[in-house]
Amino acid sequence: LGLVKYFRYIIVGGGVAAGYAAREFDRQGLKPGELAIISKEAVAPYERPALSKGYLNPTGAARLPEFHVCVGSGGERLLPGWYKEKGIQLILSTEIVKVNLGSKTLISAAGETFKYQTLIIATGSTVIRLTDFKVEGADAKNIFYLRELEDADELAESMKTKKTGKAVIVGGGYIGLEVGAAMRINNFDVSMIYPEPWCMPRLFTPAIAAFYERYYANKGIKIIKGTVAVGFNANRNGEVTGVKLNDGRVLEADIVVVGVGARPLTTLFKGQVEEEKGGIKTDKFFKTSMPGVYAVGDVAAFPIKLYNEVRRVEHVDHARKSAEQAVKAIKASETGKEIEEYDYLPYFYSRSFNLSWQFYGDNVGDTVFFGDNNPSSPKPKFGSFWIKDGKVVGAFLEGGTPEENKAMAKIARLQPRVENLDQLKKEGLAFASKI
Ligand code: FAD
């Protein structure tokens, strides 16, 4: 048996949550050698959202070390040297393949053994692949997914060789919309296909989606809705040449980018911790059912106090905040102190072209649309409120100023009553700004 490496704290996974957890450990007081981050990726924690945005810019593209955490939330950039200086072990290019929570042991692909006193699970998500569904030809070259830096590098490389070619984007969610825009900005001939009747159906109302679809069409992106890719054609080199649709059509393609969703990486822990909603169940301190084991970020199924419901949230803001909460809770438990319960207001955002939207709260109930959603306006600004049981519970805004976005967050948090939906529609943004 090889050497066993022991750390007081181990974070498994080296993504967004791990980086913010490291910063919080340092703030709370950490001794050199106490903390290790074990990551499959080859680089220190970075702001993952950059991969589908600045990373794909045709000029001045973002590259590490520019977007290491915690720049995404206006914080200091933690370069590899920072971890070194703090005595935090960054154990990179190391995949954990076996976990025994009972004996507090982790084993890497290379056979190394790690032991800990407290574990934070921060393994995030992995993309759903078309090969998972055995889609014919889905293993052809130049069919890309986007989750990790390596994926983004491969895509960026291929964009260079296939420049101004034909790109087909499979999926109309965050990744599809952001990468579709990026490919267009890089002068690709872009088509997007998705099975749903409108883009981002889990959040967007038809009215919201209609704006983005028209805006994208004006940019020259062809959107084909209500279709799925049933197969891919490839040339003799195994490179993709076409996407076969379920209606018999074939779209020519030099590059395909697939964004059809992600699933939380919980497999290592199956049967060892309680699960819920596809994730690892935690309390308001991100403690799992196993003593000494915490779960944060995409994998955590945690109670949202505001809605009195357990949910998983696959967004960067939650990854950051849950990591900080878990570390505070760990430190407090060691000193017998108490900290406040997590009281999270869901917050999502996306950017593409010159557009930028933010959403706060819960997208349930009736919707009231307001504002200027003409895609040809010089600066479109519009939004939607969600109203449940007579109260505003969700707020979406495209093109808002920082103050206006803050007002939207406030309204989703305070949940003011509305008596008259017509009045709300007329007031629109002004309603939020006066709360
Ligand atoms: P991750 O950041 O995914 O980190 C998980 C880490 O664990 C990875 O480094 C992984 O390699 C490692 N790992 C996994 N398994 C193992 C193992 N067995 N052994 C060792 N290491 C392992 N959210 C937004 O709110 N807004 C956005 O605009 C936005 N854009 C996005 C764009 C892209 C391209 C992607 C992929 C995601 C985007 N997200 C966005 C979502 C957001 O990035 C995630 O919610 C967030 O990164 C989750 O943080 P995490 O730490 O839980 O997981």
* Full residue range of the structural domain in which residue 111 is found: 4-126+263-335
Amino acid sitting at position 217: A
* Concatenated DSSP letters of 12-29: E--SHHHHHHHHHHHHH-
Residues 254 and 273 in one domain: no
Range 229-253 average pLDDT: 97
Contact between residue 172 and residue 216 where contact means Cβ atoms under 8 Å apart: no
3-state helix, strand, coil in the chain (%, to 5): 30, 30, 40
ipTM: 0.99
71 and 48 Cβ atoms separated by less than 8 Å = no
The residue-averaged pLDDT of 203-224 equals 98
Specify the pLDDT at position 104.
98
Q: Is residue 346 lining ligand 1, measured as CB closer than 6 Å? A: no
Q: Model confidence at 434, in pLDDT bands (50, 70, 90)?
A: confident
Query: In 20-76, where do the E strands start and end?
Result: 35-38
Angle at 193 between CA 188 and CA 196, to 5 degrees: 150
Of 260, 276, 309, the one marking the end of a domain is: 260
Domain count, the chain: 3
The separation between CA 154 and the C-alpha centre of its own chain, rounded to angstroms, equals 19
Intra-chain end-to-end CA distance of the chain, in Å: 63
Strand pairing class (366-372; 143-144): unpaired
192 lines ligand 1 (CB under 6 A): no
Helices vs strands, H then E, count in the chain: 9, 26
- 26 is a domain residue: yes
Both 177 and 221 in one domain: the answer is yes
> Is 122:323 a contact under the CB 8 Å cutoff?
yes
pTM over 0.95, yes/no:
yes
Q: Looking at residue 186, what is its pLDDT?
A: 97
Is 344 part of a structural domain of the chain? Answer: no
Q: Identify the pLDDT of residue 352.
A: 97
Say yes or no: 274 and 152 in one domain.
Answer: no
pLDDT, tens only, 288-313: 999 999 999 999 999 999 999 999 99
Closest ligand 1 atom to Cα of 317: 25
The pLDDT score that the predictor gives to residue 200 is 97
Domain termination site, one of 227, 260, 293: 260
Percent of residues, the chain, with pLDDT higher than 90: 97
Instruction: Say yes or no: 168 and 242 in one domain.
Output: yes
Q: Is 383 in the pocket of ligand 1 (CB under 6 A)?
A: no
Give the pLDDT mean for 349-378: 96
Ligand 1 neighbour 348 (Cβ under 6 A): yes
**Residue 15 CA: which ligand 1 atom is closest?**
4
Report which ligand 1 atom has the smallest distance to the Cα of 124: 53
* Ligand 1 and 319: CB distance under 6 A: yes
Per-residue pLDDT, averaged over 213-237, amounts to 97
Q: Based on the domain organization, do 138 and 230 belong to the same domain?
A: yes
Q: Which CATH number belongs to the domain containing residue 183 in this structure?
A: 3.50.50.60
152 lines ligand 1 (CB under 6 A): no
Domain boundary among 237, 260, 283: 260
Q: Which atom of ligand 1 is nearest to the CA of 146?
A: 34
- 249 with 305, same domain: the answer is no
Which residue has the CA at smallest separation from atom 33 of ligand 1?
49
In this structure, are 323 and 360 located in the same domain?
Answer: no
- 271 and 247 co-located in one domain: no
Does residue 325 have a pLDDT over 60? yes
Confidence (pLDDT) at 3: 85
Residue 157 belongs to some domain of the structure = yes
Q: Is residue 328 part of a domain?
A: yes
Cα 49 to averaged position of ligand 1 atoms, centre (Å): 8
Q: Are residues 391 and 361 in the same domain?
A: yes
In a domain, 343, yes or no: no
pLDDT in tens, 122-156: 999 999 999 999 999 999 999 999 999 999 999 99
Does residue 122 sit in the same domain as residue 143? no
Q: Are 4 and 88 in contact (CB under 8 A)?
A: no
Asked, for residue 370, whether it belongs to a domain, the answer is yes
Q: Are residues 134 and 256 in the same domain?
A: yes
What spacing in Å lies between the alpha carbon of 262 and ligand 1's midpoint?
10
Q: Distances from the Cα of 276 to the Cαs of 62, 158, 279, 296, in angstroms?
A: 37, 39, 5, 14
Considering the domain architecture, whether residues 270 and 254 belong to the same structural domain is answered as no
- Looking at the predicted structure, is the pLDDT value of residue 264 above 90? yes
In a domain, 341, yes or no: no
Cα 427 to averaged position of ligand 1 atoms, centre (Å): 38
Average pLDDT in the 388-398 region? Answer: 97
Cβ 106 vs Cβ 40: under 8 Å: no
Q: What is the pLDDT of residue 2?
A: 66
